[in-house]
Amino acid sequence: MLKLENVSKFYYNKGIIASGFTKVNLELKIGEFVAITGESGSGKSTLLNVISGLDSYEEGEMYINGQETSHYSEKEFEDYRRKYIANIFQSFNLVNSYTVYQNVELVLLLNGYKKYEVKQKILDIIDKVGLTKFKNTKVSKLSGGQKQRVAIARAMVKDTPIIVADEPTGNLDSESANEVIEILKKVAKDKLVVVVTHNIEQIEEYATRIIKMHDGRIIQNTEIKEIKNEPQIVKSQYNNISIFNKYRLGFRNTFNIATKFLLLFAVFFFLSSAILAEYASFQMSEEKQDISGYSIGFNDLSEKRILINKKNRDYFTAEDYDKIKELSNVDYIVEDDFFIDGGANISRNDLSMYGNMLDINNFKGDINYGRMPENEDEIILRVNSDHFYIKERLDEVLNKTFSILKSQGRNAWGSEKVRDVTVVGIQIYEYEIDYGCKFYVSKSILNTLRSDMNKNYSKMKIFLNNKFYEQYRVEPSDKVKSGKAIVDDEFKYQFKNYKIKGQPLNIYLSNIYYEDELKLSISNTYTKSNFKKVIGLDKYDTNRNTIFINTNDYNTLYNKSSYQSSVYVKDEETIDDTLMQLEKLGLNPKKVTDFKVNNGEAGKRIIKIIKVIVTIVLIIVLFFISYLIIKIILKSRNIYYTTLRMLGATYKNIRRILDIELFINSTLSYLVLLLFIYLVKINLINLEYISKLSDFLDVREYVLMYVILVVISRLISIKFAKKLFKNTAINTYNEEV
């Protein structure tokens, strides 16, 4: 019935080949009760796994009912296991959250039987193993001996010609072990039963053949009782699992472990709510941009704003501004218009505000709280009436000192402060789209910020010893005389005879607005020992290779007048005339509205494309995050799904059961999310922001989100199922145990 000719099994691990067993020759018949024994590592369990089709073999030939199996694919081995093999495992491999009846029923459902067809058969088998009164008890509540009886019942109900048992009594007391062996002996009358055991004495009196293994080889094959009239081989009959049973198992698995269900529910709830919130936020932003206009480079797209710079690329002087102000349609000028679009960040303790910095001379209207500034470091804050800080933290803002933080690029801020300012006045305004802040400050503050911005956006090169260097830092020090520079003593190695004092050192600085050059000479060098005396600082190690120059020289590089400003007109209807007048003054004027990217349908399409791209990227990112989390959650179920595979479930079966489980979970989580949104909409749950977001979603978006959720759950199922079938059944199981 089962024949092995020179069969060998090898394992490969990190380039090392290990033998499971070698050159095994064996022929077994129906009706035999075969005991395989040997010390640990002798290869007996590996032989059993090969016989049962749970593991592959690399050499020789194994015949089943006269058919060769060496060419079998994993799918063909699945068919082999379903027709010929029933397994009994040492660790039982039962589903602890299932009842005794459900565990026995499981193998029949996987093999295509209908529920109504198998009920009596299952009850009869359960009765044979003495567990009738426990048929509705969860396996987790049974003793070890009772669990092994359930495993035997599951093997018997499959009704295959071969039953293989790996240490079936290894975890049992002697009484339970004897009962299990008695049951297996009865089964062996018309089947081939192969048992691996350490305790040969326990099974010896029942065995018809004893095989002893050592170091991967059979050293004893003793036939105690000859089977003369081998019973007829009856292969187990099976069909593909029915759709109804797939749904039954999927539904059962959804709720059988409460912790797993709640964790999966939370993941899918977060996934769907995150995508809906992102999409709704984009819709809300799109609507606002549709009203106010949109530009990557400019925040204030007022119809009255004109950008200006000089045709000769020079900076603006006071005379230039005076001439511009004389134009009849000019309302006011913002000299440093970078702060209209780039803004600045002011911070105090845990309170931080971002907004535009504007000239105090351009402030209009009344102050609602506080007073007008009286010195250069006092400012006015102008905010929307719905702004959080005004509604909740007014006492933490008014008459409090804030630090203007150093810019690290557009909308990025460090912790280093540029200057301290005090908010002495607050103006409240009503404007439903703009929720940002505006800070009205003195020219002194604007000059300080302009210098900081120039430094942040400028590129510096050092010309020394006829070479340009970009890697050196330049810092100010009051210890250095004007026109001089003090450098690290290491610099002397760049010069012949190490003569560095008196050598010229030029600094070249450039940005989008201007280029500047500072010609200096080296007056001295510093070392670790004289650093504090020469430079006036403590930290030598963090300042190595730094070039120190006079503070006033340093400031001349960055303290420049404005190179670009903005003009605001009184009447936008006559703005074209103002443009021509500005051009006659030697300026390059440009309406800021010319930079809108969503004027008309073409612009709207661009925004929609960006929205789609961002949404797709978010979905992809959330998919992988969700998969990693769900993979961890389902890891506790790997043994379950691997056991299904051992019991005869195919890749498609397992994937479909997992599909259904994740589909039910994702659908329930989405329905709860919809209920939550509905309760917010009817004000039973008071969450104003979520209510606003939901206004930007319609039925189409909700349906689309559900489709996306289902697709994601399906992809996770496919990916997880593939992982379960990457290796042989036993190797996959051993990886998870």
What residues contact 213, with CB distance under 8 A and at least 6 apart? 21, 36, 37, 38, 42, 43, 44, 47, 219
- In the numeric block, the tokens 């925004």 are attached to 607
Is there a domain that residue 147 lies in? yes
Check whether residue 636 and residue 705 sit in a common domain: yes
Contact 462, 472 (CB under 8 A): yes
Is there a domain that residue 296 lies in? no
Check whether residue 11 and residue 85 sit in a common domain: yes
**Length of the chain counted residue by residue:** 737
Q: Which residue has the higher pLDDT, 290 or 156?
A: 156
Q: Tell me which of 419, 452, 485 is where a domain ends.
A: 452
Nearest to residue 327, comparing CAs of 623, 73, 570, 24? 570
**Range 325-344 average pLDDT:** 86
**Range 240-248 average pLDDT:** 84
Distances (CA, A) of 285 to 313, 552, 555, 596, 699: 36, 46, 41, 15, 19
List pLDDT tens digits, range 504-559: 999 999 988 889 999 999 999 999 999 999 999 888 988 988 999 999 999 999 98
Identify the pLDDT of residue 418.
86
- Whether pLDDT at 246 is above 90: no
List pLDDT tens digits, range 70-88: 998 888 888 888 888 888 8
Identify the pLDDT of residue 737.
43
Q: Residue 311, CB half-sphere, CA atoms under 13 Å: how many?
A: 7
List pLDDT tens digits, range 94-152: 888 899 999 999 888 888 888 888 889 899 889 888 899 999 999 999 988 889 889 88
Give the burial class of 437: count Cβ atoms within 10 A of its Cβ; 0-12 exposed, 13-18 middle, 19 or more buried. buried
What residues contact 380, with CB distance under 8 A and at least 6 apart? 360, 363, 367, 370, 372, 373, 423, 424, 425, 426, 427, 439, 440
List pLDDT tens digits, range 441-463: 999 998 888 888 888 888 999 99
Q: Tell me which of 216, 237, 258 is where a domain ends.
A: 237
Lookup: tokens for 528: 């670790």
Contact 486, 522 (CB under 8 A): yes
**Range 9-19 average pLDDT:** 80
Is there a domain that residue 615 lies in? yes
| pLDDT band of 482, cuts 50, 70, 90 | very high
Check whether residue 62 and residue 103 sit in a common domain: yes
Check whether residue 375 and residue 427 sit in a common domain: yes
Identify the pLDDT of residue 421.
95
The proportion of the chain whose per-residue pLDDT surpasses 90, expressed as a percent, equals 34
SS (H, E, C) 213-281: EECCEEEEEEECCCCCCCCCCCCCCCCCCCHHHHHHHHHHHHHCCHHHHHHHHHHHHHHHHHHHHHHHH
Distances (CA, A) of 433 to 67, 178, 421: 78, 81, 27
Identify the pLDDT of residue 241.
81
Identify the pLDDT of residue 497.
86
Give the burial class of 93: count Cβ atoms within 10 A of its Cβ; 0-12 exposed, 13-18 middle, 19 or more buried. buried
* Tally of domains in the chain: 5
d(C-alpha 332, C-alpha 257), whole Å: 70
User: 3-class SS at 448?
Assistant: helix
Check whether residue 331 and residue 408 sit in a common domain: no
Check whether residue 6 and residue 100 sit in a common domain: yes
Check whether residue 214 and residue 112 sit in a common domain: yes
Give the burial class of 13: count Cβ atoms within 10 A of its Cβ; 0-12 exposed, 13-18 middle, 19 or more buried. exposed
Contact 22, 216 (CB under 8 A): yes
Nearest to residue 168, comparing CAs of 187, 144, 191? 144
Lookup: tokens for 330: 């000019």
Is there a domain that residue 208 lies in? yes
d(C-alpha 451, C-alpha 664), whole Å: 60
Check residue 138 and report its DSSP letter.
Answer: B
User: 3-class SS at 512?
Assistant: coil
Enclosing domain of residue 366: 338-452
H or E segment at 679?
helix 651-681
d(C-alpha 393, C-alpha 136), whole Å: 62
Mean pLDDT of the chain, nearest integer: 86
- In the numeric block, the tokens 């006559």 are attached to 574
List pLDDT tens digits, range 650-674: 888 888 888 998 999 999 999 999 9
Tell me the residue type at 489: D
Identify the pLDDT of residue 4.
94
Q: Which residue has the higher pLDDT, 295 or 258?
A: 258
Is there a domain that residue 300 lies in? no
List pLDDT tens digits, range 21-37: 999 999 998 888 999 99
Output the pTM of the full model.
0.54
Check whether residue 439 and residue 531 sit in a common domain: no
Q: Tell me which of 196, 216, 237 is where a domain ends.
A: 237
Check whether residue 254 and residue 279 sit in a common domain: yes
Inter-residue long-range contacts of 512-518, CB under 8 Å, 24+ positions, other chains counted: 512/457, 513/313, 513/315, 513/454, 513/560, 513/563, 513/564, 514/313, 514/315, 514/560, 514/563, 516/556, 516/557, 516/560, 518/549, 518/553, 518/556, 518/557
| pLDDT band of 6, cuts 50, 70, 90 | very high
Check whether residue 263 and residue 347 sit in a common domain: no
**What value, to the nearest 5°, has the Cα angle with vertex 37 and ends 31 and 41?**
135
β-pair type (192-196, 162-166)? parallel
Percent of the chain as helix, strand, coil, to the nearest 5 = 45, 25, 30
d(C-alpha 292, C-alpha 172), whole Å: 77
Check residue 315 and report its DSSP letter.
Answer: P
- Whether pLDDT at 374 is above 90: yes
Lookup: tokens for 254: 């959804």
The proportion of the chain whose per-residue pLDDT surpasses 70, expressed as a percent, equals 91
To 10 degrees, the CA torsion angle through 576, 582, 584, 590?
Answer: -70
Identify the pLDDT of residue 413.
58
Q: Which residues of 292-302 are buried (b: 16+ CB within 10 A; e: fewer)?
A: bbbbeebebbb
Lookup: tokens for 213: 């293994």
Is there a domain that residue 21 lies in? yes
CATH code for the domain in which residue 94 is found: 3.40.50.300
Is there a domain that residue 299 lies in? no
Identify the pLDDT of residue 644.
82
Tell me the residue type at 492: K
Q: What is the largest CA-CA distance in the chain?
A: 122
Check whether residue 573 and residue 490 sit in a common domain: no
Check whether residue 481 and residue 536 sit in a common domain: yes
List pLDDT tens digits, range 401-448: 999 887 655 555 566 788 999 999 999 887 544 556 889 999 999 888
